[in-house]
Amino acid sequence: MSNYQAPLRDMRFVIHELVGSAPICALPAYTDCDAGLIDAVLEEAGRFAGDILSPLNPVGDRDGARWLAGADGKGEVRTAAGFADAYRQFAAGGWMALPCPPEHGGQGLPRLLAVAVSEMWKSANLSFSHVVTLTHGAIEALVIAGSAELKATWLPKLVSGEWTGTMNITEPQAGSDLAAIGCRALPQADGSFRIHGQKIFITYGDHDMADNIVHLVLARTPDAPAGVKGLSLFLVPKFVLDEGGKPGRHNDVYCTSIEHKLGVHGSPTTTLVHGDHGGSTGYLIGALGRGLEIMFVMMNSARLSVGTEGLAVAQRAWQLASAYARERVQGTDMTQKSGERVAIVRHPDVRRLLMTQRSHSEAIRALAYTIAALQDIAHQSADAAERDSAHRRVELLTPVLKGWSTESAVDLTSMAIQVFGGMGFVEETGIAQYMRDARITPIYEGTTAIQAADLAGRKIARDGGTVLAALVDEMRADCASLATSGNPPLQAIAARLGDGLDHLQAATAALLEKMTSQPAAGLVVAEPFLKLAATVIGGWLMGKAARVAGAAIAGGSTDPFYREKLASAKFYADHILPKSAGLLATVQSDNTLLLELADDAL
């Protein structure tokens, strides 16, 4: 199998021509960044992803992480061969620091660039990339809410990648339902806390790639109220620091097992027991009872990150399917009388499968990078009104991306297997790994149901659909400009997009009515509503991409990329966008019979 090759051309197109890097580089925090720097970083990251991370992907899948039992349940994890060395190169190359704040040792580059770079890590080796995602999550939590002392002690080593981070949320009885978290934190005379309890499914909860691991643990103090309001966030290191600030004694947190999973075998999914030997030492992050609030701020980034995982895995699976389709000879070209046997890429249905993967992935990339740029504006714009408006749109679009991208990745990687035929179903070709790896993405960081409920409840019903309505107005204006372009493919796209926007508006009205009159009826259709909204938003972004491509062609560009983009956008409009009609019917449907059914009928 060939190594991953970063889709640099499309990344550059989306960053510079579709989303627009110029206004992002003009933000006060990013004036040192320009298009040349962005392109240079993309190329270098593409090399690292292709040369170092990609060859380790099948190794991680085949050999997985291993758990070594120790005395008294004090187990340890060994990652697959090559992972620790690759991680050291990754940290030494400054890749962990890329999006982090300069005041803590980071490079402070825009999220618009960071999202593309992170897509590369995830495409090349999803299991490896988890350690980066989790470390960035821990950094973000400390930046948002850590005291000056916590920041000074922990951030520099996390930003440099010398230490890594984890997110300790899930417990056996508390998965989607964070109110059920039972882990306890007992205050100590010196201001620290003793943590007791079991956390499960903790990604990179133990490993051999860095000198220390910084766990962020949700737990409740003795007098805390029940439910999510009683949750606080604690920093619990694997090794407590000695007086010199170096990793010292092993804290009372141990890995008692790792999971055997359907996919992401290279990423250790650990059970961590805090406090079986007296209590693990922890330090409060932010105020007591504010744990969930801090988590919520981080969640937008984490969900954008997992949304990018869906895109990344689908992209890589398409890359492999496309290469296979050009090599595998089977059957004859139906349009030729010669009877000559042809590569399967000549068969119309294989072309349809490949273009579905390509155009769908491109639409998701456009959305992911759009959200990243909005995050840059929300954090860095000098104009408060612009910050606020960008923030609201990020809030609206994040569950859309997370739910749509990850669910699509499961289908798109399955389609890639279809292109391989029987060879897709055997492990030797390596394509099956992508479908197995993709399957976790709609589950962790909030399942699709949780994203859909967030979108329907918090992001739409709560403001009566105001933020969405403003987006629809913008999409309508872009649609009108495609319709009046005088360019037939753009006008055809506009016709489909206009229908999709009608469907989205009708579905929003139906959803709002249901969420008000009978929320359960609204929640039954929240997931199809999310898919409808995503499908139409994807169509809008592909329409915008087609407009840019059309202008380049009209301006005399002979770069084949623009013709490919036009074909991809037209395909999306014809094959993917019309699904909004069926989804609208479902959103408008009456589900009384389902809701009244006895539980044992389901």
Q: Which of 48, 444, 540, 571 binds ligand FAD (CB under 6 A)?
A: 444
Among residues 355, 348, 326, 357, the alpha carbon closest in space to that of 567 is found at 355
| 255: β partners | 75, 272
Q: Convert residues 7-46 into a mask of x (bound to ligand FAD by CB under 6 A) and - (unbound).
A: ----------------------------------------
CA distances from 160 to 9, 14, 129, 140, 294 (A): 29, 29, 16, 14, 23
Q: Which is nearer to ligand FAD, 167 or 390 (CB)?
A: 167
Beta strands 76-78 and 163-168, pairing class: unpaired
Closest distance between ligand FAD and the C-beta of residue 568, in Å? 32
CB of 206 or CB of 376, closer to ligand FAD: 206
Task: Classify residue 20 as left (phi > 0), alpha (psi -120 to 50) or beta.
Answer: left
| Nearest residue (CB) to ligand FAD, 429 versus 586 | 586
State which residue, 268 or 500, has the beta carbon closest to ligand FAD. Answer: 268
- By CB under 6 A, the residues from 240 to 269 that bind ligand FAD are 261, 264, 269
- Distance (Å) of CA 282 to CA 128, 188, 221, 259, 495: 27, 10, 12, 25, 58
Contact letters for ligand FAD, residues 423-442 (x by CB under 6 A)? -----------------x--
What is the closest distance, in whole angstroms, from the C-beta atom of residue 436 to ligand FAD in the complex? 11
Contact stretch for ligand FAD (CB under 6 A) within 195-203, 208-216, 506-514, 530-538: 195-203
Interaction between residue 449 and ligand FAD (CB under 6 A): yes
Catalytic choice (119, 171, 445, 527): 445
DSSP 319-343: HHHHHHHHH-EEEE-TT-SS--EEE
The rounded distance, in Å, linking the Cα atoms of 315 and 171 is 33
Whose Cβ is closer to ligand FAD: residue 229's or residue 563's? Answer: 229
Mark whether 445 is an active-site residue: yes
Q: What residues contact 148, with CB distance under 8 A and at least 6 apart?
A: none
Alpha-carbon span 443 to 406, nearest angstrom: 9
Region binding ligand FAD by CB under 6 A among candidate stretches 201-209, 383-391, 426-434, 559-567? 201-209
Distance in angstroms (rounded) separating the CA atoms of residues 399 and 380: 22
* Shortest spacing between CB 535 and ligand FAD, in angstroms: 21
Q: How far apart are CB 335 and ligand FAD at their closest, in Å?
A: 46
Tell me whether residue 449 or residue 553 sits nearer to ligand FAD (CB atom).
Answer: 449
* C-beta nearest to ligand FAD: residue: 175
Show contacts with ligand FAD in window 147-186 (CB under 6 A): 167-170, 175-176
Among residues 29, 321, 453, 472, the one that binds ligand FAD under rule CB under 6 A: 453
Q: State how far the Cα of 462 lies from the Cα of 505, in Å rounded to an integer.
A: 17
State in angstroms the smallest separation of the CB of 199 from ligand FAD: 7
How far apart are alpha carbons 415 and 435 in whole angstroms?
9
Q: Label residue 584 exposed, middle or buried (CB < 10 Å: 0-12, 13-18, 19+).
A: buried
Find the shortest distance in angstroms from Cβ 262 to ligand FAD.
9
Parallel, antiparallel, or unpaired for β 280-285 and 193-203?
antiparallel
Nearest residue (CB) to ligand FAD, 170 versus 535? 170
Total number of residues that touch ligand FAD (CB under 6 A):
18
Q: Which stretch binds ligand FAD (CB under 6 A): 198-206, 285-293, 349-357, 564-572?
A: 198-206
Choose the binding region for ligand FAD from 314-322, 447-455, 475-483, 535-543 (rule: CB under 6 A): 447-455
CA angle 515, 459, 407 (to 5 degrees): 90
- Taking CA atoms, 367 is separated from 92, 370, 514, in Å, by 31, 5, 28
Cα torsion 126, 129, 131, 137 to 10°: value is -110
DSSP at 271: E
Q: Which of 202, 320, 373, 438 binds ligand FAD (CB under 6 A)?
A: 202
Give the footprint of ligand FAD on residues 302-361 (CB under 6 A).
none
Residue 521 near residue 514 (C-beta atoms within 8 A): yes
What does DSSP assign to residue 601? G
User: CB of 304: closest distance to ligand FAD in angstroms?
Assistant: 16
Q: Which of residues 269-298 bind ligand FAD (CB under 6 A)?
A: 269
Q: Is 456 in the site for ligand FAD (CB under 6 A)?
A: no
Measured from the Cβ of residue 588, the count of other Cβ atoms closer than 10 Å reads: 16
Cβ distance to ligand FAD smaller for residue 107 or 135: 135
Which residues are part of the catalytic machinery? Answer: 445
Which residues of the chain form contacts with ligand FAD (CB under 6 A)?
167-170, 175-176, 201-203, 261, 264, 269, 440, 443-444, 447, 449, 453
